[in-house]
Structure formats: structure tokens, C-alpha cells
Amino acid sequence: MRNAPESELPAAILDAEIALLAEMGIQFRMGVELGNHVTLDGLRRGFDAILLAVGDLAEGGAAQLGAPLASNALKTDPSTCRVSLPNVFAAGPCVKHVQHLVRAMAEGRAAAECVHRFLRGQAPRRPEKPFFFSVMGRLEPGELRDFLRGASQEHSVSPCARCSGINPDEAVREAARCLHCDCRSSGHCLLQHYAQVYGADASRFRSERRPFSRQLQPGGIIFEPGKCILCGICVKLTELAGESPGLAFVGRGLDTRVAAPFGRPIQDGLRAVAEECVRHCPTGALAFADKPARA
């Protein structure tokens, strides 16, 4: 990044970012080269824990650091982010290349968690992936068309040269283009909550993936049958409200599903208590298009 042209990374922007780090108490030692001016052994004697985040390693770089190599990268324990030296950890491109920024940040967070546990006298380990780290999987062409239905037709908003950023209106327009590959109920899903409480393993029982379906309903409600766990809450709510025709369990056995009776669209059964059904849906199978569902 230090060799990036001014048009891609203006010095003023970089200085402002570094200033934020300095405010957090981070100290910088400029012009000090690890393996030349200071050694890893020397740092180990002066600090309780060391995190190596030195970027890409040049030929012989690991040998200069005094750390073990694996395929031209630092060799670490994948579960602890630690090299063979007791109080030395490593993260970033010197360990493995990660193309996506979000994943790179997750790797940094995992290393920080390992160091934090080590400094507290606990066994270092990466944060456990909670139950909701499940993926939709590769969509078939027909499912992909269903997924893209209703996507924004706005063109992407790109910041101008010199990283001056975008204004608030442009930011809102760009955010509105989100396709919601995530679950709108993530963080509020009772299935996620109790799966973590009881230690459920999403990969223990493998089965055929349910076909993806997303039904856009009038009034800004989305119904995703694949998330429905047949709890019956929405069926009971429409019954108590006297909805006509309301919702019901349709089909038998493993083919049972929630739907409006007599083949009618689901919005016909959600006229008076649609908002209440969304609010009480435990998995986000029913959600509002413009905001996350809350269980």
C-alpha cells in the first residue's frame, strides 16, 4: 500500500486512518526492520505476545524472521494462529492469501482472539463458528432467477477518483442494491439461538437441499418456504384473527407446508395480521422486504 499512487490512496486519507490507530494507543516505530534492526527472539524477551502480520514474504523472508515455513508462508497451527514459538502468532498474507476483504478481516479477528486468550492465561483458540454459519449453496438457474426477482435496477455507485467517497444519498442508493444473500432474520432467529444453546451441528445429518423459493408479497412481505419449520404460529394467528381463508398446513408427511388453502397465494391469508405474523415468525420465513425480521 505504501507504493500505491496518490489517485488510489491519497496521503491525507492514509494519515487519517493511521491517526485513528494512534488514538487507540498503538505505537509506531518507523524505519525498524524485523530481522535486521530487531530480532524475533529479542521481541519475545520484551513482550508477552507477538503477532506477525508482515504481509507477503520475500524469498528467504521467513528464515530472516527465524520462524518456520510451509509452502513459502509462515507455518501456523490453524486452530490457534500460533507458530511453533510459544508466544508468537501470525496472520495475514504471510500465512495465507485471502482474496475477500471480509474474510481477511475475519482472519485478523481470529488471530486477535487467540492472542487475547493467551494473554489471559487461557488456551488460545479461534472463535467457534456458530450454527448460523450455514450457506445457501449453489443455486440452479431457475432458483437464481427467483432470487434476482425484484432486484434494484439502479446502476452501481462508484466513488470518484482520489478516494473522495460518496455522499449520503449515493450511499443510500448503493445500499439499496443489496440482494440480501444473508438471512434477514440473522441475529434474531430462534432456531439459531436454540441450536447454539443445545450444540446442534448443522452438518451432522446431510440431506438434499430444499429448493430455494422467495415469494414477494404485496405490502412488502417476503415468504421463504425453505426457512419454514412448520411451527404453526402464523396458522394460529390467522385463525385467532378470523382471517379468511387464513393459513393452514397443506399436504401430508414430509411434503407438509404452510400455505393459503385451496391453492390461493399466501397473501390472501395474510390480510389483517401480516405484521404480527412477521414479528412472531421464529426463523424469518416471513419477513419485511425493507427491514430484518425480529423474532
Any domain includes 63: yes
Any domain includes 172: no
Do 269 and 193 have their domain in common?
Answer: yes
What CATH code is carried by the domain that includes residue 231?
A: 3.30.70.20
* More confident site: 70 or 116: 116
Instruction: Return the pLDDT at 295.
Output: 39
pTM: 0.59
Any domain includes 173: no
Specify the number of domains making up the chain.
2
Any domain includes 270: yes
Q: Which residue range is the domain that position 74 belongs to?
A: 31-119
Any domain includes 109: yes
Instruction: Return the pLDDT at 204.
Output: 77
State the average pLDDT over residues 9-32: 89
Tell me how far apart the alpha carbons of residues 60 and 62 are, in angstroms, rounded to a whole number.
6
Do 203 and 105 have their domain in common?
Answer: no
What CATH code is carried by the domain that includes residue 37?
A: 3.50.50.60
pLDDT above 50 (res 293): no
Residue 293 burial by CB count (10 A; 0-12/13-18/19+): exposed, middle or buried? buried
* Nine-digit cell string for 123: 488456551
Do 192 and 111 have their domain in common?
Answer: no
pLDDT tens digit sequence for 39-85: 888 999 999 999 999 888 877 666 677 777 877 788 899 999 999 88
Do 42 and 112 have their domain in common?
Answer: yes
Any domain includes 294: no
